[in-house]
Amino acid sequence: MPRYITQKIGLALFSIGLIVTVLTATYALYLYLSSPANDEIIITTSSAYDSLSPSQSGNNSLYPGNQLPVRQWSDPRGTFPLNQLSGGPFVPLSSIKQPIIHGLQGRALEIQIPQLNLQASIVELALSNLGSSLEYETPKFTVGHIPATPNPGSKGSGWYFGHLDNPVGGEGNVFSQLPKIAELLRTGDEVHILLSTENDEYLYSAYKTDLLPENELKITNSLRSEVVLVTCFPRLTYEKRFLVHAELIGVRSKT
């Protein structure tokens, strides 16, 4: 076989190998960026709360293992006791038999999720006219509340939206850590969500997460006092919606 033909064949094989390597690396990078560590998204856990104060333990059970998430057994002092939230104690509050509050009266002004080191302001989302339809605007660098849904402390489901990230639109990533809640619930952690109004602070406990296709997301209501936090998922494609459901467990006055 002539030498120049051998060289061309070798060059062709090298080019094909290089292309396959680049494509494989690109696909692996895509999977890494778009797939979180917590792929088991639909989690259901619930707890009964008799008191919001840390339980008193005897000397023989100072850190009872059955009351700690498994991942914290080796470091019980690393747990997050409820009283580390600044301010006075919370009064236990049932999530049922609460009034329904809409509008500016008692609306949420701020959200905190201590386990995610998240603290952000909340705005009421306005409707945008798209010509043939109306659509709620997207919140920029903040969390947006659907004003047609209940306010904190009231009966029903209050819906709150925030960006996972928004590199193109430049509208922030206030809920970038929200998907981590699925893994926290799976390992037995209690995830608390604090919503502040002008006069009060309402404490919610997350009990479930969902992952839905974008076209299946619907604003639903509940017979209990709950909040639903929503963000896009996963990164790059944003084709689904990640939801966190949390139930009201306590309230305290800011005055």
Chain segment 181-202, per-residue pLDDT in tens = 999 999 999 999 999 999 999 9
Say whether 234 sits in a helix, a strand or coil.
coil
The sign of the torsion formed by the CA atoms of 110, 120, 225, 216 equals: positive
pLDDT in tens, 96-117: 767 776 667 789 999 999 999 9
Tell me the sheet residues that pair with 209: 43, 244
d(CA 190, CA 205): 7
Taking residue 184's Cβ as centre, other Cβ atoms within 10 Å add up to 20
Q: Is the model's pLDDT at 54 over the cut of 70?
A: no
Give SS3 for 77: helix
Asked if residue 61 lies in contact with residue 68, where contact means CB atoms within 8 angstroms, the answer is: no
Q: At residue 215, does pLDDT exceed 60?
A: yes
Q: Which CATH number fits domain 40-46+83-253: 2.40.260.10, 2.20.25.90, 3.40.50.300, 2.40.128.110?
A: 2.40.260.10
Whole-prediction pTM? 0.68
CA–CA gap between residue 152 and residue 159 (Å, rounded): 10
Average pLDDT over residues 169-185: 90
Domain ranges of the chain: 1-34, 40-46+83-253
Band (pLDDT 50/70/90 cuts) for residue 42 is very low
